[in-house]
Amino acid sequence: MLSIFGKPHTRGGFCDGVSRRDFLTAGGTLFGGCLGLPNLLAAEAKSGIKSSHKAVINIYLPGGPPHQDMWDLKPDAPVEVRGEFKPIQTNVTGIQICELFPRIAKMMDKFAIIRSLVGSAGDHDAFQCMTGRPRTPANLGFVPSLGAWVSKTQGSADPAVPAHVTLMYPCGEQRWGYTGDGGFLGVGHAPFRMVGSRDKGMKSDNLTLQGVTLDRLNDRVGLMKSFDDIDRKIDKTGLMDGMDTFNRQALDILTSSKLKDAIDLTKEKPEVLERYGVDDPAFERDGAPRMVRNFCVARRLVEAGARVVTMNFTRWDWHGPDGKNFVQARKDFPLLDVAITTLIQDIHDRGMDKDVSVIVWGEFGRTPKINNMASRDHWPQLSCALMAGGGMKMGQVIGESNRLAERATKRPITHQEIFATLYRNLGIDLNPIREFDANGRPQYPVEPDTQPIRELV
């Protein structure tokens, strides 16, 4: 992963305010050896830039959102199950959702709800939502994320914008900040990180290295090349061959204004930005902050050329001393309602609804029965997801759960099927895609014979 955010220096550094240490860090990552951005760009040379630009925005809700309080209410269940919220009718006959999502209700024809998502690993972890597979000791660092597979197979849509970009904030619960990495495909396909640490948000003024000119940057590349020349003498694998071309493309990204402009919300129309609401940059305990305008940033990154954008939003682990389920829901449901509907409306207004797929989900669902602290505990047996765009068939509910929302009774859907659907929406034919890991074993984006969700495509 790569981040070019940090504070400028005025002492012990170059005259433009970038310290030698920071430059060597950036230079070593960007231009040295087998690490960083140049490898991210190598996939483009293999597959070429596609004329169409399909994309996915993957919105992860850290902690496990309560499915039966959001999009699968059970008003006829016993009081200890049904909760405090009432269902409301949407603009699609027969589909009801929680009363705290009135905007989604008015736009239900632009959404699809999956009420029968099964197969959760049951861990507090973004891994499964980023890769489609559960985290295991063997999978960690080995299984590529969706964005990594897309970077590998399709490359960049624009040479100045990485294919795989993340707005995932590092969280106190580290697994909630997992961005998805390159796995055995290599760090070159890991995401380009657009946010910093818990005390450093997005800082577009640093994206172009504080105004470092191309000449100065080239001088520094020359410095790094002297180290590269040594590496080449000892490199026995040929891994560094051809890196000069990708180094130039890495410079294109650093010196282009495209990424900087994408995250610069002063360039967005004020009336559009206001519709997303107001950011709360404070982190929600060990989760992510309530950065509602990152939904707008995600759209702008796609417009700039990103193919896969991931992001996390606030904290959804509401049980025990962590907070009361219904109190927190009244705080966060309306924020999500406004942010996601504004995003989807923007996508439609810009004619991007056939090309950009959006998914909203968490790592698992919540217990049917409310505990003695007015909360719901972990429930990996069943969860839900909200999908939109991508040319999919909207205005429908897929799957059913039983009267207590504890298990799927019709059309169980797996993470693998969702990922197969997203790959299909991206224009990726999964049949011929096969990559070999370091041990020579064939690997695939999803398990062989996994099909996209037929109701959506």
Mean pLDDT of 225-250: 49
Residue 206 has pLDDT above 50, yes or no: no
Instruction: Please state the pTM of the whole predicted model.
Output: 0.82
Strand partners, 96: 89
Per-residue pLDDT tens for 303-334?
999 999 999 999 999 997 767 899 999 999 99
Per-residue pLDDT tens for 107-140?
999 999 999 999 999 999 999 999 999 999 999 9
Residue 246 has pLDDT above 60, yes or no: no
Instruction: State residue 198's pLDDT score.
Output: 63
Mean pLDDT of 229-256: 52
Instruction: State residue 247's pLDDT score.
Output: 61
Q: Which residue has the tokens 């697994």?
A: 175
Residue 81 has pLDDT above 90, yes or no: yes
**Could you tell me the two tokens for 104?**
């989604």
Question: Where are the chain's structural domains?
Answer: 9-47+209-256, 52-205+265-443
Cα–Cα distance between 135 and 139 in angstroms, integer? 6
- CATH architecture for segment(s) 52-205+265-443: 3-Layer(aba) Sandwich (3.40)
Residue 425 has pLDDT above 90, yes or no: yes
Helices (H) and strands (E) in the chain, counts: 14, 18
- Give the pLDDT band (50/70/90) at residue 205: very low
Q: Are 193 and 170 in contact (CB under 8 A)?
A: no
- Give the pLDDT band (50/70/90) at residue 21: very low
Residue 307 phi/psi, 5° resolution? -95, -35
Residue 145 has pLDDT above 90, yes or no: yes
Instruction: State residue 242's pLDDT score.
Output: 39
Lowest mean pLDDT among 34-48, 167-181, 238-252, 323-337: 34-48
Closest Cα to residue 172, out of 335, 301, 259, 286? 286
Lowest mean pLDDT among 209-223, 299-313, 335-349: 209-223
Instruction: State residue 256's pLDDT score.
Output: 75
For a pLDDT cut of 70, what percent of the chain falls above it?
Answer: 76
**What is the chain's mean pLDDT, rounded?**
84
Output helix, strand, coil percentages for the chain, rounded to the nearest 5. 35, 15, 50
Closest Cα to residue 178, out of 356, 37, 1, 388? 1
Residue 215 has pLDDT above 70, yes or no: no
Instruction: State residue 33's pLDDT score.
Output: 36
Mean pLDDT of 288-315: 97
Q: How far is CA 82 from the centre of its chain?
A: 31
**DSSP notation for 393-448:** --SEEE-EE-TTSSSEEE--B-HHHHHHHHHHHTT--STT--EE-TTS-EE-SS-T
